[in-house]
Amino acid sequence: MDAYNVAYSTLTGDKNIANRNYTTARTQSQQDNVEAKAGINENVRNQYTGIQRLLGSRGAGNSSAAQILAPYAAGKTGNIQRGQVQKAYGRNMGALDTNWADTEAQYTNSFGQLDADKQNNLRSNEGTYN
């Protein structure tokens, strides 16, 4: 029983560490996603402002290019970048969730094997004892 308790504690401790690492990585990925999108938004604003200034310096500040095409171009670039960030985020989260599911399956299998070993040892000891 002492060996079982030590093995069970080790197994549970390893799962808790894996859970902590999973939670930390998941939280960091979510924060990185938010930060990346905020950076893209800032870049889009800067591009839009830059295009507006460039067109204004050339005398086209009130043109259709400044009013329609400048925001469209900056927004399109931002949308492409946001799509790339979201795709990477989705892949990262999927990989984290897959790894966590594997960890839980391994824990369940290891615990089942540990319990089976305990039962076998108990039966063997009872037989010897009897």
Considering the chain, what percentage of its residues have pLDDT values greater than 90? 77
Own/partner pairs for 70-73, CB < 8 Å, 24+ apart? 73/47
* Number of CB atoms found within 10 A of residue 70's CB: 22
List alpha helices for the chain, DSSP H: 2-57, 64, 70-129
| pLDDT tens digit sequence for 90-105 | 999 999 999 999 999 9
- Helices 70-129/2-57 angle, 10° precision: 180
**Model-level pTM?**
0.77
Q: Is the pLDDT of residue 64 over 90?
A: no
Tell me the one-letter amino acid at 78: G
Between 82 and 61, the more confident residue is 82
- Token digits of residue 45: 């604003």
DSSP-derived secondary structure for 36-58: HHHHHHHHHHHHHHHHHHHHHHT
- pLDDT for position 127: 83
Considering the chain, what percentage of its residues have pLDDT values greater than 70? 100
- pLDDT for position 16: 96
- Which residue's entry shows tokens 């897959």? 98
